[in-house]
Amino acid sequence: MFSLNSDQLASCSFFIVHLSYQNSRSHHNIGLVALWFSNKRNLCTWNFSELRSYHSQKISEPRNRRLTSNSHFCNHSSRKVPVRFGHSPKVLSGETYSVLQSSGFQHWFKNWQEQRKHKLTASTFGGAVGFWPRRRVQLWLEKLGAIKPFSGNLATCWSNIKEEEALERYKLITGNTVLFPEFQVYGKKNPEDNWLAASPDGVVERLVYGLHSRGVLEIKCPFFNGDKSIASPWSRVPLYCIPQAQGLMEIMDRDWMDFYVWTLNGSSLFRLYRDVEYWDVLKIALSDFWFKHVQPARELCSEHVITNPLIELRSLKPEPRHELCRYIVYESKCIVDNSKLLMREIHGKLQN
């Protein structure tokens, strides 16, 4: 047996495990591909071309995660409804599993998967509106329990592993003290909004001219498809990050956000400000997704055995984009245009 700390896990890239379950009651055939370096010097060496090659072997997606899935389960009631499977729900032929889903590759303090399952969280706000058209229906199926929630890929695992290092760099640059709140549920002022939630990377308290200034921290560690040569800190906040950013500030009741982007070759720091009018429009789109599509579909799932939600619940399936999506994208661009690039450094040298 051997063990790896988080830095070694990152430096050694990733283990990809493909479990090819045969249609048999007695045994499973398990294939393991591991990228492993035998000495400490190589622990600092990356070979992303091999990493992508190994990762490409994990091709097939579990059937119950596809949008055209024949997933045979949909039940959200405390009353147990029979669920029909062609075979055991624990072992489906052709499923693939990855060490990427093991605890060593998960976030260092955000272990809130169960809580997230029953809420609409800030990281999904862009998808719920329709920034990525296919994602909206996929998210709907996830909230019904018809497919498994997204559990991570190479990019998210990379971010999970490197976020602590990024945090230390942020604190060194800014001198800020960062606190780590628990999973935050919206609705303190209005309990009817408790279907919204957020999992911030941190909160920041500062004194500005003797007055308290309250912000939230969002850290991004982009993967760049594993290509170290192009790992350059962003010079502009991506549009798709704005629904999450504004959602975090609203749910956390914070006035501003430090949006910190960390890469191997440098980092950049942006300041975003809370926009109440943007949130009011965004919340309309989120409410429509939740109360016109998710909640009524869940109620039907609790009362009936739904074998194919895309067909049987098609009247409740959301359109690829909400009608306000175009407007929200435009307003997101305005927020990006008004954001402040506080700092951008490459190899320790400040950029103009």
- Here the tokens at position 64 are 């119950």
- On whether residue 163 sits in a domain, the answer given is yes
Rounded to an integer, the average pLDDT of 282-305 is 98
Q: Would you state the pLDDT for residue 112?
A: 58
Q: Which residues, 6 or more positions from 113, have their beta carbon under 8 angstroms from its beta carbon?
A: 149
Q: What value does the mean pLDDT take over residues 241-248? A: 98
Across residues 271-281, what is the average pLDDT? 98
Integer Cα distance of 45 and 50 in angstroms? 12
Q: Is residue 157 a part of any domain in this protein?
A: yes
Q: What is the pLDDT of residue 104?
A: 52
pLDDT at 335 over 90: yes
Would you say 237 and 336 are in contact if contact means Cβ atoms under 8 Å apart?
yes
Alpha-helical regions (H) of 149-275: 154-174, 242-252
Domain range enclosing 341: 109-346
pLDDT digits (tens, 9 = 90+) for 130-142: 999 899 999 999 9
Number of domains in the chain: 1
**Is residue 46 very low, low, confident or very high in pLDDT (cuts 50, 70, 90)?**
very low
- Of 30-44, 291-305, 334-348, the range with the lowest mean pLDDT is 30-44
Ranges 76-80, 120-124, 174-178, 182-186: which has the least confidence: 76-80
pLDDT at 85: 28
DSSP 62: P
Q: What does the mean pLDDT of the chain come to?
A: 77
> Taking Cα atoms as reference points, which of 182, 30, 159, 45 lies closest to residue 107?
159
Please check whether residue 51 is in contact with residue 226, taking contact to mean a CB–CB distance below 8 angstroms: yes
Looking at residue 98, its pLDDT comes to 53
**Residue 308 lies inside a defined structural domain of this protein:** yes
Q: Quick check: is 3 in a domain?
A: no
User: Is the model's pLDDT at 105 over the cut of 60?
Assistant: no
Q: pTM score, two decimals?
A: 0.72
Confidence at residue 54, expressed as pLDDT on a 0 to 100 scale: 35
> Whole-angstrom Cα distance, residue 37 to residue 40?
8
Domain membership flag for residue 313? yes
Instruction: Write out the DSSP string of 292-342.
Output: IIIHHHHHHHHHS--S-HHHHTGGGPPPSS-TTHHHHHHHHHHHHHH-EEE
CATH number of the domain to which 318 belongs: 3.90.320.10
- Length of the chain, please? 352
- Choose the weakest-confidence range: 94-103, 112-121, 174-183, 220-229: 94-103
- pLDDT for 317: 98
What is the predicted pLDDT for the residue at 12?
Answer: 44
